[in-house]
Structure formats: C-alpha cells, structure tokens
Amino acid sequence: MPTLNHETVPYGSWSSPITSDLIAAHPIRLGDVSVDGDTLYWIEARPSEQGRCVIVRRDPDGATHDVLPPPFSARTLVHEYGGGSFLAHDGTVYFCNLDPKQPHADQRVYRIGSGAPEPLTSQTSARYADMDMDAHRNRLLAVRETHSDSGPEPVNEIVAIALDGSGDVRVLATGNDFYASPRLSPDGTQLAWISWDHPAMPWTDTELWVADIDAAGNPGNKRRVAGGPGTSVVQPAWSPDGALYFVTDSNNWWNLARVAGINAGAEMLLETEAEFAQPLWQLGSSTYTFLSADTLIAAACRDGIWGLVSIDLADQRVEILDLPYLAYRSLHVLGDRLVAIAASAEEPETLIILDGAGTHVEPVRAAFAVDADLKAYFSAPEAIAFPTAGDQTAYAFHYPPTNPGFVAPDGEKPPLIVMSHGGPTSAASGALALGKQFWTSRGFAVVDVNYRGSTGFGRDYRFKLQNQWGIADVEDCIAAAQYLIDQGKADPDRVGITGGSAGGYTTLCALTFHDFFKAGASHYGIGDLEMLAKDTHKFESRYLDGLIGAWPDEQATYRARSPIHHVERLNAPVAFFQGAQDKVVPPEQADAMVAALRAKNCPVAYVLFEDEQHGFRKGANIKRALDGELLFFSMWLSGRALRFFG
C-alpha cells in the first residue's frame, strides 16, 4: 500500500483510482453457465467487443478457450430480458444467436462442435431460450417466442427442436401467455414447466405443470402440481432419483418444495424465513442444485444477504457453508463439486468451483481484477433497517465515503447519492459494484435502497408496492436519506437520487412530487405511465395492473402518477441517459420529459446512445454515462453550479 498524506479536501472532490475508464474497461460481465460432464462453459459479455456474449469452455485440465467465433453472440431476447441462452451437451454447444449490430436480425438456435456454427432453426421471427436436452429423442426443448405483425402480441410456447438437421420444431405446450423452465425428468418420461397468464407476473401467480411424454415425444396427462392464484412457483428441477423440486412462496417466503412421485402431492422441503429464489426477470436462473441424490446445495437470502446452505434430503438437516460471499447465482454441479457465480463486498462476481463442504474454493474467472491497493478505496456496505411511512420498516445498504488519501474538513458532512434499483421487483445487493465505489471513493455517501416491493424479504414485503408504485418506493428513498441525515451521516442540503428503468421512474417521481432531493439522474427511466402501458413489450405489458391499476380503467391514477403530466412541480436539475434502441422503455419517454423541462427552463442534461438498448453494454457508452453523471452531481450537489446557473 503506498504512503498517503490524508490531504484535507471537501467531500465530493476527492480524486480516485476507480475511474470511468477502469469501469468501462471491465474485461467481461459473467452470464449463463452450463456443465457438460467434467467440462465447464460460461458466457462472457465483453464491452470491448461491443457487448458480444462469448461462450467460453474450460477443459478438465483447466485450459480455456472461446467457443464462439465472431460475430456470433449467445444472447436471447425472449421476454426482452433473455436468459438461458445456451446449453452444452456431449461436446456440442447449442446457443441462441444475437448480432450486437442488428439485435433483432437473428435469434435462431445454432449448434457448434468442432466446426463452424450450424443453424438448427430457420430464419423467422421466432426467438428461443431456456433450453433443456431430450437425448432420448434427439431433440432440444426450449421456450419459443414468435413475433408477428398480424397478431396482437407475440406467442409463447414450449417446443422441441429436432437435432437431425430437418429443421422440424414441434409444439409441446401452448395456450398460456408465458412459459419458462421446460425440464425433462432423468428417465425422459415426464416434462415439467412453469406457465402464467396476463396480468400475472412470474413473482405473483404462476403454475407448475407436469405432462407424461410418450416414446414418440408427445405430451399427455397434463396436470398442475403446484401454484395458482396467489402463489409464485419458480425453478422446477428434477433430482437424480427422479423427484421434482421447485421453489414456492405459498408460505410467504420462496421456500423449497418437492413432488416425490407421479401420484404424490407437493410437500414443503424446508420452511424458513429466507428466500431460495430471485424474481424471474431472466430465464434459466438456478439458485439450487443437486450435489447428489442425497444432498441439495442452495443459495438462500435473509435480510437482503445471500448465503449458501447444504441440505440433507433424507432428514432435511441444514448446514450453513462458511463462505465470504454476499450474492450467488447460476449454481451447477461439476462432477462431485459445485459451480457458482458469487460476489462479496471486496470481490467482484467470480465464477468459482468449490467442494460440497465449502472448505476449498477455486476461482475460475472474475468479472475484473481487483488488487490489494484498490481494495483500500472500497467502502464496506452497512445493512440498515429504517422507519418509513405508515410506521413500517424498509431496508438499504449504506456506503460511507472511503478514500485513504483524503479526509474532509472538520464538521463537514458528505453529499449523499440515493440509489433506487430497477424492476421494481428486484433488489439491491451489498456485493461489490464499482459503480457505487466510483462515488464513495470521491467523497460521496451512497445508500442503495431496498424499498417496499423489493425481493429477498418475503412475499408480503414484495407486495407492499402493489397499487403503490411511485408512492411507497419514493417514501422509502426519502426515509433512507432522512435516516442518515438524522444520524449525521449526510448533508441535508446535498442529497441526490439516481436510478435505472423502474428506478428511473422512482427518481423522476421523487423529484416531481417531493421537494427533498437537490438533483436526480434517470437512466432509461419512465416519465409517462400511460405511454408505458400502451407501448412496451409483452412481458411487462400488464405489469402495471398490479403496481398502478388496470389500464385504461385507472387512467386517472396513471396520469396522477406520471411525472410528464406534472412537470410544473419539477424544479430540480435532472440528467437523462437513454438507449435509442430500447424496447422496454422506448426513448420517447426521455424525449418527452426533456422537451417539457427545457420548455420551462429547468436545468436538464440529455445523453442519447444510438447503439444501446435497455441498459448500457458498450465500454465507450458506460464511460460516457459515468463521466456525465459525475459532472452533473458534482455541479448540483456542491453549490458550485450556482455560479453558472444562479
């Protein structure tokens, strides 16, 4: 560690080695994982290659190499958020292709072995995801989403894709609005899947179905085994001995359950006040797996922090594995060991291999390298619970300013950045994110809010945002900031708010309907709920029914909670960052807000990225957005902007 002089400099003005160049130059973002025998595969999304998603193979001897040649990219746009984009089996990789330069031009399924990628499906308007292998019948099972100009919305189904080169695609399940997780039993005789219909979302009401599969591959004797109104069932998986496991929130918490036989009913495996699943924004998620027929390894979340547990399936004995990580995903079995993507407060997301006891961990691939000197600049997250409106409690992670080279003048309190996560059915995590350390190492405090409606705290907490979006989330963001102000940990005159997507909506509502924040930044956020209800993709087209109310019956509520209709009340400076190719929150949302604010001479900044979708994946754009937001908040939370705009 170099010798530092602890220079006295005001908060928010510290220099830091955690730069936008460092963050934009991240070599990868880790994606889906697949295991084929003793060979491990994963996806690396590479900003340096314009966001291309490359499948990487790790051989048993530890050697790694890229599987996909450019320009192929393993990413699917089913539900727009994708997930479950590839599968490895018997030395062959099956993947859904997306051209980063033409994202809607090709969503076919390809396979690649020792030669060049070969298409298995024809060039149509269909997208595929969430694959499983049916080796008994030489076919691939998948969720298919077919887009058509003639239909009111895309059609979702479960299909079987022939692997004999014929291009045949057979429908196995249809009729519901959405499908996920087609999973074939080990003996090939039963198929399980999840389905749901408008206006439900996969974290509100889903059903688990099972059908018998005959020798010809046809489904029959279809039956619902779990789920229904008022219950979310996710992540079906067959154990090695043929029992069907899943996660259900029927007891308020996403807990593990199983169906032990064909004629057996569902039973809870473990009932505890912890969550064993995450919201199904992306397909193919896996937060538990079977180390053997007798042992299940699962990630569990309690109070917003994830841990890893081992469960003896015979006596349901639970052992907590002593590991330093705060977040887990993509759990798989590699031989007699476990594979996971994990992250801690000091280590970024890392693909790891560990034994079943958690005593030996082998890092395979980290999202980026962190040296010891850089760790000195990391702010440790503090999990806080704080009072909010209606005598309720909400949660957050607080990050105080941290930089070994600087101290603030005596008596000064730091500016505070309030972060509002997307979804809104999602969650903030205490795992390392350089985007937060970017601020804290410069002398800003950060509070990342798990407002009411966030996941990881049970179904009841998740549902506290029903009909309250734009109200409860905003109240909690304000309450989090006020809690830190009251403790003397933030300057009440220098509080800003930022968020992306749904978090951008929370940001705009906070600035419009409350006179609390001094400035805000909206990343691909929502300003017009009516526009969103009429112009968004199928997956979220009825999401607002629960968050706001049914459209158009509740039109008055939509208008009342849309910042675009109340810009006369918005007087704080706002920065907008938007992708021009965004299909989730179209750029017209930002365009309208910016035009309205400019018309009333409200300070506004607008950065439109012509080559980005929902979220920024390209290094140059990530850098530009970070630099722009830093300049914006440095001006408006320091008082220096008054010299220019006062």
| Whether residue 503 is found in the same domain as residue 602 | yes
Phi-psi region of 177 (alpha: psi -120 to 50; beta: other; left: phi over 0): alpha
CA angle, 422 as apex, 18 and 98 as ends, to 5°? 85
Q: Quick check: is 24 in a domain?
A: no
Asked whether 219 and 236 are in contact (CB, 8 A), the reply is no
Phi, psi of 540 (to 5 degrees): -105, 10
| Whether residue 187 is found in the same domain as residue 332 | no
Looking at 229, 263, 291, which one is the last position of a domain? 291
Q: What is the CATH number of the domain that holds 547?
A: 3.40.50.1820
Task: Enter the DSSP assignment of 518.
Answer: S
- For residue 3, the model assigns a pLDDT of 47
Q: Where are the alpha helices (DSSP H) in 463-534?
A: 472-486, 502-513, 529-534
- For residue 5, the model assigns a pLDDT of 65
Mean pLDDT value of segment 27-53 = 92
Q: Quick check: is 1 in a domain?
A: no
Asked whether 170 and 164 are in contact (CB, 8 A), the reply is no
Q: What is the pLDDT of residues 450-477, one digit of tens each?
A: 999 999 999 999 999 999 999 999 999 9
Total count of residues recorded for the chain = 646
| Whether residue 355 is found in the same domain as residue 308 | yes
Q: Quick check: is 412 in a domain?
A: yes
Mean pLDDT value of segment 465-492 = 98
pLDDT band at 99 (very low <50, low <70, confident <90, very high): confident
Mean pLDDT value of segment 392-397 = 98
- For residue 495, the model assigns a pLDDT of 98
Cα separation, 267 vs 62, in Å, equals 41
Q: Quick check: is 140 in a domain?
A: yes
In 3D space, the residue among 262, 221, 271 whose CA is nearest the CA of residue 238 turns out to be 262
Cα separation, 189 vs 213, in Å, equals 5
Q: Quick check: is 209 in a domain?
A: yes
Asked whether 40 and 364 are in contact (CB, 8 A), the reply is yes
Lowest mean pLDDT segment, chosen from 26-30, 331-335, 340-344, 507-511? 26-30
Q: What is the CATH number of the domain that holds 219?
A: 2.120.10.30
- For residue 101, the model assigns a pLDDT of 64
- For residue 307, the model assigns a pLDDT of 96
Torsion from C-alpha of 246, 251, 253, 255, nearest 10 degrees = -30
**pLDDT exceeds cutoff 60 at 66:** yes
Asked whether 447 and 396 are in contact (CB, 8 A), the reply is yes
- For residue 644, the model assigns a pLDDT of 33
| Whether residue 445 is found in the same domain as residue 385 | yes
Q: What is the pLDDT of residues 219-261, one digit of tens each?
A: 999 999 999 999 999 999 999 999 999 999 999 999 999 997 7
**pLDDT exceeds cutoff 90 at 161:** yes
More confident residue, 212 or 618: 212
Cα separation, 333 vs 355, in Å, equals 10
| Whether residue 241 is found in the same domain as residue 316 | no
pTM for the predicted model, two decimal places:
0.93
Asked whether 502 and 451 are in contact (CB, 8 A), the reply is no
CA angle, 601 as apex, 596 and 605 as ends, to 5°? 75
Task: Answer whether the bond into residue 199 is a cis peptide, omega within 30°.
Answer: yes
| Whether residue 216 is found in the same domain as residue 260 | yes
Q: Quick check: is 374 in a domain?
A: no
Q: Quick check: is 81 in a domain?
A: yes
Q: Which residues contact 117 (CB under 8 A, 6 or more apart)?
A: 68, 69, 72, 95, 97, 110, 111
Q: What is the pLDDT of residues 258-290, one digit of tens each?
A: 997 766 678 999 899 999 999 999 999 999 999
| Whether residue 75 is found in the same domain as residue 99 | yes
Angle, in degrees to the nearest 10, between helices 502-513 and 472-486: 70
| Whether residue 278 is found in the same domain as residue 299 | no
Q: Quick check: is 232 in a domain?
A: yes
Looking at 317, 340, 367, which one is the last position of a domain? 367
| Whether residue 352 is found in the same domain as residue 387 | no
| Whether residue 131 is found in the same domain as residue 230 | yes
More confident residue, 218 or 48: 218
| Whether residue 442 is found in the same domain as residue 563 | yes
| Whether residue 262 is found in the same domain as residue 309 | no
**pLDDT exceeds cutoff 50 at 160:** yes
Q: Domain count of the chain?
A: 3
- Please give the mean pLDDT across all residues of the chain: 93
Looking at 291, 311, 329, which one is the last position of a domain? 291
- For residue 356, the model assigns a pLDDT of 80
Q: Which domain holds residue 327?
A: 292-367
What secondary structure does DSSP assign to 378-403, as a single string? Answer: PPPPEEEEEEEGGGEEEEEEEE----
